[in-house]
């Protein structure tokens, strides 16, 4: 597919206080982006955080051209490097380059790069600016917007973290053309999640345009990115620090994070969340809130993405239960679950968007997922 420069779409996301930032969505824009960043942040020193996959795909070269900019390349890429040691290495590299508070970190990569770079920005010299250039389906749909940053401990995902909103987000859907097929499809689960919790029409759009999405049609991908960002921006504007409604963005994640962690991250994030979405729907059915017809519609869309809908038999139920006790939504080691009222609407009950579920129903659901 040839590179086509499209008009960019801007979505203003109210952050903390009066500050806001814009999400710029386009196609074929990455090669022109560095000039824009140099102009916009002329007084700031630039530092790039990326990973070995992005270097191999040529995206770092497209971004910088011949510019000599200090950078940190995460290697090996992925969740295995999402730990406090990587953050320390980034900060020490910045110090050795004599960077200070007058710096901006440019995060070029997927969700893991964004999480790591964002957390480094939040704690380096008590906070410097960060600009996200997400290059994966999961990052363009979800993780680059909203200000969540964090890295894993040896016990759970995102044990260390901070809310640190970016100065800007630049989405170039053409960067998805080099993404591995499995990772591409798994990341689209977050798009399905957004549709399920907030926009039934968007769910229908995904159903009707799934062939074009899977063929990586640039125009359709821009529309998908726009719809995802509008949904997430609206939720974040209401609840920037995840005190209540923002928890709906964790639909499918209570079971999903446990499956992902217990698998030793052999399952991709989106793959684990797909299992978690099915699990949440099974819980809803047990509570009289769902139906077989609704579950079948959801499973049909996920099946088109070729993601797993069952928990691997090698993952012990007791380990999943223990891991869910550490979930960030858990209260007194009792995990809470985001559920659907209908396709396109998360369930709100008594003003709460994350719900208690009995240990018996959770155990029954986990059994049904094997």
Residues carrying an active site annotation: 126, 148, 190, 232, 242, 246, 250, 253, 257, 269
Give the separation between CA 114 and CA 122, rounded to whole angstroms: 12
- Rounded to 5, what percent of the chain is helix, strand, coil? 50, 20, 30
Per DSSP bridges, beta strands 336-337 and 148-151 are: unpaired
Alpha helix ranges (H) inside the chain: 30-40, 52-56, 59-64, 84-96, 111-123, 137-138, 181-187, 189-198, 200-214, 218-238, 253-262, 269-286, 292-304, 317-324, 359-368
- The pair of three-digit structure tokens given for residue 64, joined into one six-digit string: 């910088």
Q: What is the DSSP letter of 167?
A: S
Could you tell me which of 72, 76, 157, 60 has the C-alpha nearest to residue 120? 72
Contacts of 355 (CB under 8 A, 6+ apart): 336, 337, 338, 339, 347, 349
Contacts of 217 (CB under 8 A, 6+ apart): none
Quick one: CA dihedral 141, 10, 47, 150, positive or negative?
negative
The CA-to-CA distance between both ends of the chain, in Å, stands at: 40
Q: How many CA atoms lie within 13 A of 143 on its CB side?
A: 29
Give the separation between CA 269 and CA 353, rounded to whole angstroms: 22
């Amino acid at each position: 597919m040839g590179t086509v420069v499209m008009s960019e779409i801007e979505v203003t996301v109210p952050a903390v206080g009066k500050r806001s930032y814009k999400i710029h969505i386009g196609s074929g824009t990455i090669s022109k982006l560095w000039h824009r960043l140099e102009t916009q942040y002329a007084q700031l020193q630039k530092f790039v955080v990326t990973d070995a996959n992005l270097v191999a795909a040529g995206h770092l070269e497209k971004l910088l051209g011949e510019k000599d900019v200090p950078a940190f390349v995460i290697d090996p890429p992925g969740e295995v490097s999402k730990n406090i040691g990587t953050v320390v290495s980034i900060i020490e590299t910045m110090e050795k380059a004599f960077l200070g508070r007058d710096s901006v970190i440019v995060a070029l990569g997927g969700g893991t790069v964004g999480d790591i770079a964002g957390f480094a920005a939040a704690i380096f010299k008590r906070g410097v600016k960060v600009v996200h250039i997400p290059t994966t389906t999961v990052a363009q749909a979800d993780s680059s917007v909203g200000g969540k940053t964090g890295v894993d401990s040896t016990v759970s995902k995102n044990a260390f973290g901070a809310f640190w909103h970016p100065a800007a987000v630049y989405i170039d859907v053409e960067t998805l053309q080099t993404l591995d097929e499995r990772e591409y499809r798994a990341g689209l689960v977050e798009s399905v999640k957004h549709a399920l919790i907030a926009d039934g029409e968007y769910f229908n759009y995904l159903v009707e345009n799934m062939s074009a999405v899977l063929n990586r049609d640039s125009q359709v991908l821009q529309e998908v990115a726009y719809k995802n960002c509008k949904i997430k921006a609206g939720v974040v504007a209401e609840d920037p620090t995840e005190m209540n409604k923002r928890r709906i963005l964790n639909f499918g994640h209570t079971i999903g994070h446990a499956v992902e962690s217990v698998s030793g991250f052999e399952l991709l994030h989106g793959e684990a969340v797909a299992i978690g979405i099915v699990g949440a729907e099974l819980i809803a059915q047990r509570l009289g809130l769902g139906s077989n017809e609704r579950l079948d519609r959801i499973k049909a869309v996920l099946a088109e993405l070729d993601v797993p809908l069952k928990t691997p038999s090698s993952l012990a139920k007791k380990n999943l239960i223990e891991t869910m006790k550490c979930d960030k939504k858990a209260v007194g080691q009792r995990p809470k679950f985001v559920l659907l009222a209908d396709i396109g609407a998360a369930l709100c009950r008594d003003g709460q968007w994350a719900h208690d579920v009995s240990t018996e129903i959770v155990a029954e659901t986990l059994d049904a997922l094997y």
